[in-house]
Amino acid sequence: MTVRADMWRRGAILLAVACLASCGRRETAQPALEAGLARLRAGLAADGTEADLRAAAAQLETAVRRKADNATAAANLGIAYWKLNRYEDAARLLRRAAELNPADARPLEFVAKVYIDAQQWEKARLALDQAFQRTTDSPRILTAMSVAAAQAGADALAQEFLVSALEQDAAYPPALYNMAVLQRDRLGNPAEAAGYFRRYLSAAESPGAAAVDTLHVALARDAVNALAKQGRRPEAAAATLPEPKPDRAKGKRLLAEAEEDVRGGAFDSALVRLKEARAILPDDPDVIWALALLYDRHIGDQERAAALYEAFLKQFPDDPRLEAARRREAESLKRARSAAAEAALTAEAAGTGTAGQPDTGRALDLWSRGLQYQNAGETEKAVAAYTQAIAYDETLLSAWYNLGLVQKQAGRLRKAAQAFEQVLGLKPDMAEAEYMLGVVYYDLREPDEAVAHLERALRMKPDHGRAHLVLGAAYGLLGRKDKARVHLERTLVLLPGTSYAQQARALLEP
């Protein structure tokens, strides 16, 4: 079984339809809009038919023609097109709805669902990133981002998004359910999976909880019973068990699938598969060579390509591709330096809006470009794009935040701190910015500053598991072992079965 995308979709569709419908304007489009919504609800019901969806689309098309600026009609027509597998038409209408109602993140969430169904993972991720910038404290969107990552086979990234969702709301049922499935089916942690299923049932069945799908409640109960029968593996025995042998057949299969993806132009999917293959087969020259070529020829990340060619040269000095690797490493390094220089010049040339006025539209375009660079691993180009976006609108919070992330990734920690400080100047209650400042100061080995920011983050979000982890580590640097233990043990409670729990456990060891 895979991570359940359907849990995110069910309820969300009807909820969005109902909520968007309440925003409509009673103009000449209203009769067609109401008729279209009625048929759409019928089509989305368990016994709905394609005929219902086609009828809904026809009515909603009439509503859109009569009132082109009606976000409700555009959004719901997009949903109808989506369910009819008209993916590009669906995305176009949903984006129009997003433009008509800039405060509402839900049309962009539906754009992501469309692209997930179309298996266009990069477009889905971009849409969800854009939705998240509209409402940064949304466990719903973070859970959706985890679904997109899981569908693309990026289990570690899916877990990261679910961790963030549960830091926003520790009792958010969809995040708990999907984390349970991820732990059980992808990460091989049955005990942790059972714990998350129990937390899901507790949240779903608590008084005043929002309605959840009864199917998932039943599945969660069955899962808890099945996992209980399996029992927990003895901890003492686990230490003496031999390390599992790498599944070479799986690694080779992933390599073959990635090569097929490359031939078909599905570079995003190929990257996911090759990263997983390398984790399984770190000593396989064909995997590293294929990954280097992907970054070099198709993704355009010359820094990573050069690093992989260098790793290839060191690991496999007798491989017949050695000379080609040397040549390609030199070419990639040259292109990387050229791109960095171009990015620096572009950043210096960034201007502002007319007569010094902010140009938010231009800033958002540049932010979107920066996000694409960031997702592709092109750090310097992302820095340049975000810097330009800020030049056009210095109040664009998402550009400052992402600039902080890429500056940290590039190792420019002081500049990262400055960017996150700007975020807090615009939004003082953003716990994630306080957390990131704490991480940056911890990396700078300034534990007092780290503690101050992490404590503020936890006052805003007491269940922020990653903040507890870094705060525990910072207190450890200060020699305050008792306080360190409190926060590290809290990480174990909040984030069982994750890499953060493993780090906390390692720090707790004497």
Nearest to 347 by CA among 409, 403, 416, 425: 403
What is the model's pLDDT at position 421?
95
Nearest to 131 by CA among 157, 95, 161, 162: 95
Q: What architecture is the 429-510 domain classified under in CATH?
A: Alpha Horseshoe (1.25)
Q: Are 4 and 10 in contact (CB under 8 A)?
A: no
CATH class of the domain at 136-229: mainly alpha
The span from the CA of 264 to the CA of 447, in Å, is 49
Residue-wise burial string across 390-401, b where 16 or more C-beta atoms lie within 10 A, e elsewhere: bbbbeebbbbbb
- pLDDT tens per residue across all 510 residues of the chain: 344 444 444 333 333 333 344 444 444 678 899 999 999 999 888 888 999 999 999 999 999 999 888 888 999 999 999 999 999 999 999 999 988 888 788 898 899 889 888 888 778 877 887 787 777 668 888 888 888 778 777 788 788 888 888 888 888 889 899 999 989 988 888 888 889 999 888 888 776 666 567 778 888 888 888 888 775 444 433 333 344 456 788 888 889 988 988 888 877 677 778 877 887 888 899 999 998 898 888 877 777 788 888 888 888 989 999 899 888 888 877 776 666 555 554 444 444 444 457 787 788 788 888 888 887 788 899 999 999 999 998 988 889 999 999 999 888 889 999 999 999 999 898 899 999 999 999 988 899 999 999 999 999 999 999 999 999 999 999 999 999 999 999 999 999 888 889 999 999 987
CATH pick for 1-118 out of 1.25.40.10, 2.130.10.10, 3.40.50.300, 3.40.190.10: 1.25.40.10
pLDDT at position 206, please?
Answer: 75
| Single-letter amino acid, residue 28 | T
Q: Which helix (H) or strand (E) holds 253?
A: helix 248-263
Cβ neighbours of residue 119 under 8 Å, at least 6 residues apart? 151, 269
Give domain limits for the chain.
1-118, 136-229, 248-345, 429-510
The DSSP output letter for 445 is: T
For residue 263, give Cα distances in angstroms to 8, 257, 266, 415, 455.
32, 10, 8, 40, 50
What's the pLDDT score for residue 456?
95
CATH code of the region 248-345: 1.25.40.10
Half-sphere exposure of 17 (CA within 13 A, CB side): 25
Is there a shared CATH topology between the 1-118 domain and the 136-229 domain?
yes
Q: Mind giving me the DSSP string for 338-405? A: HHHHHHHHHHHT---SGGG---HHHHHHHHHHHHHHHHTT-HHHHHHHHHHHHHH-TT-HHHHHHHHH
| Longest distance between any two alpha carbons in the chain, whole Å | 75
Rounded CA separation 440/446 (Å):
9
Gyration radius from the chain CA atoms: 24
Distance from the first to the final alpha carbon of the chain: 39
Q: How far apart are CA 326 and CA 305, in angstroms?
A: 12
